[in-house]
Amino acid sequence: MSRVKRGITALKRRRKVLSQTKGFRWQRSKKERAAKEALLHAGRHAFQDRKKKKGNFRALWNIKINAAIRQLANENVRSYSQFIDKLKKAGIGLNRKVLAELAEGHSDIFKKVLESV
């Protein structure tokens, strides 16, 4: 049976791990075992934070909408919660992302939405 040399495959795998940990600090970017573990942790945090990002953006949109409502407050709607309640009852199907964009960049259109509620 012929001899199989596996050095190339193993070296490629190790170099791939070390190239992914480029920029990590201390031994986590230089030593295979520490780099592999650092990658596992980094991957876990990346997955979790992709989920957290959605909640963070929703909170930001709520803050922008609330600030605009308080600035343009009328006798019917004075807060974010009242606005969302009346928006649903009026059957207006704009989501919070669009409302935040309108509140921040197009205040005249947002004011019309607020008046229609």
* pLDDT tens profile 39-87: 999 999 999 999 999 999 999 999 999 999 999 988 888 899 999 999 9
The answer to whether 44 and 82 have CB atoms below 8 angstroms apart is no
Domain count, the chain: 1
Compute, in degrees rounded to 10, the torsion defined by CA atoms 71, 77, 79, 84. Answer: -120
Give the Å distances, CA to CA, from 19 to 30, 42, 65, 89, 97. Answer: 10, 14, 43, 55, 37
The tens digit of pLDDT for each residue in 12-42 reads 999 999 999 999 999 999 999 999 999 999 9
**Domain presence at residue 2:** no
Q: Say yes or no to pLDDT of 3 above 90.
A: no
Domain-located, residue 97: yes
Q: What's the domain range around 55?
A: 7-116
User: Is residue 1 situated within a structural domain?
Assistant: no
Q: Model's pTM, two decimal places?
A: 0.74
